[in-house]
Structure 1
Amino acid sequence: MEEKYSISEFIKETQQEDKGQGLFELETPRMLEINLEKEIWAKMGSMVSYRGNIKFEREGVLEHGLGKMFKKAFTGEGSSLMKARGNGKLYLADQGKKISILNLENDSIYVNGNDLLAFEPSLQWDIKLMRKIAGIMSGGLFNVKIEGSGMVAITSHYEPLTLLVKNGMPVYTDPNATVAWSGDLQPEFVTDVSLKTFIGRGSGESVQMKFEGEGFVVVQPFEEVYYSEKS
């Protein structure tokens, strides 16, 4: 029994492993290992450890052009990025959330601005603000569209669930529980006054995202409140 709880046993069970999975590796379901050789974009504040020669730079105000700067100012600092450069092993995490790795191959995906953990510089990205909801929720709701080829890591509270969207069969989701969706879907926001007393939002309308067409949407079993509703 004493050996079971020894320091050496603890180290054996929890120590880092090289799994040979490439640039992005899931060291644990909630810890991302990046085998850095050049540079990577990561969520500000997500670094928990590194080894090697790695330097971190805050995202430059004009690094992505005036258009993105203005959109970022309008959305607030919700998803500040940092650039990690160098060679070594970098470990990222975000409040213990579960991490999923996606390898895009000329694909596009929208990710909730709060659920984007890291991505390769080879991918193109842009902030998409959903202004139609701004009149209902303070500041609106913003997402990041990522497209091209490369690795991207997203996070979710607990296990994510992917729902397929098919023509004639729309999918409705809670904005607070929506993590990501395929790049060819354009959700619209709908309200349902009759639901407001049933889901804890007694002052105001219930807001849902409606997805129509062909694609997928990823949700989490958690309502992540990162903006304030107007009273």
Structure 2
Amino acid sequence: MQTTLAQYNETQSTDAFTLQNSKLLKVSLAGKTIQAKLGSMVAYQGDVTFEHAGAGGMGRMLKKAVTGEGQSLMKVTGTGEVFLADSAQDVHLVYLEGEKITVNGPNLLAFDADIDWDIERVQGASGAMGGGLYNTSLRGTGWVAILSDGPPVLLNVAGAPTFADAQAAITWSQDVTTSLKTDFKVKNLIGRGSGETIQMAFKGEGWVLVQPSEGRVEAGPTNGSGGGLGNLLGG
């Protein structure tokens, strides 16, 4: 039999996190533990265990309940290889070395279990305008896998005043500060404006990653393996 399937052979790498392709993350566990978006497993080989990760403390559980921010996570541990994906979105890897990044919750795919996470209000978000703007912060040393709905653009915040839609700005580095830029005018309220009445402003020494989308609508559980695992783990 002649096929062209060899081009899809498993990627070989000594890194714990590696891209099988632009839409599929391969994680080599080797006895370690990671946390991943609930239902993101598409395949695995070896002796691997999945369990609901919970919020990791009462404080974070309350923040998740109040803000609606933060993914439902699963702990993945064992010896083997796990392949993770979400709706064929693009996957990007960031390696932290004692650093912090901020991530839009739905765009977080997986991270090393040694990395600490929390839910934080976006700087500059307060009152009725910004009360719902919360994101997930991650700090420590290890890999973080981030999703984007299409190929993103990496903007150097120090280069020029930088603004983005709150759902399109999916992650930014620790030395970047944020604020809200509002543009409420009568024409915006009667449907003649652009609709982009609130933008996030970024400044500092660092970067922001912006996807070409305002985010996907979350699908409900399906009969597939992802939805089934999510139900099994109580997601």
Q: What is the TM-score of this pair, normalised by structure 2?
A: 0.82
**Distance of aligned partners of 1:32 and 1:119 in 2 relative to their CA distance in 1, 3 Å threshold:** same
Map of 1:211 onto structure 2 = 202
Task: Map Cα deviations across residues 76-96 of structure 1 (whole Å, 9 max, x no partner).
Answer: 265111100111110000111
| 2:103 matches 1:111 | yes
1:81 to 57, 73, 79: 73
1:143 to 135, 144, 157: 135
2:19 to 26, 42, 51: 26
Map of 1:129 onto structure 2 = 121
SS state at 1:52 partner: strand
SS state at 1:159 partner: coil
Task: Show structure 1 runs of 5+ residues with no match.
Answer: 1-5
Query: How far, CA to CA, are the matches of 1:77 and 1:166 in structure 2?
Result: 28
**Count of residues in correspondence between the two structures:** 212
Query: How far, CA to CA, are the matches of 1:30 and 1:24 in structure 2?
Result: 13
Query: How far, CA to CA, are the matches of 2:47 and 2:164 in structure 1?
Result: 43
Contact kept, 8 Å, 1:75 with 1:129, in 2: the verdict is no
1:190 to 181, 203, 209: 181
Shift of 1:114: 0.8
1:176 to 154, 167, 176: 167
Task: Show structure 2 runs of 5+ residues with no match.
Answer: 219-235
Map of 1:46 onto structure 2 = 40
Identity of aligned residues (%): 39
Query: How far, CA to CA, are the matches of 1:13 and 1:225 in structure 2?
Result: 29
**Distance of aligned partners of 1:87 and 1:171 in 2 relative to their CA distance in 1, 3 Å threshold:** same
Query: How far, CA to CA, are the matches of 1:67 and 1:221 in structure 2?
Result: 33
Query: How far, CA to CA, are the matches of 1:80 and 1:183 in structure 2?
Result: 24
Query: How far, CA to CA, are the matches of 1:225 and 1:207 in structure 2?
Result: 19
Map of 1:60 onto structure 2 = 54
Contact kept, 8 Å, 1:59 with 1:81, in 2: the verdict is yes
Shift of 1:225: 5.5
1:146 partner amino acid:
L
CA RMSD of aligned residues (A): 2.3
Shift of 1:67: 1.1
Query: How far, CA to CA, are the matches of 2:25 and 2:41 in structure 1?
Result: 10
Task: Map Cα deviations across residues 50-93 of structure 1 (whole Å, 9 max, x no partner).
Answer: 111111111235xx221111101112265111100111110000
Map of 1:220 onto structure 2 = 211
Shift of 1:211: 1.0
Task: Map Cα deviations across residues 93-142 of structure 1 (whole Å, 9 max, x no partner).
Answer: 011111111111121111111111110012121111349367247x7132
**Distance of aligned partners of 1:77 and 1:145 in 2 relative to their CA distance in 1, 3 Å threshold:** closer
1:156 to 148, 156, 176: 148
Structure 1 segments (4+ residues) deviating >3 Å: 194-199
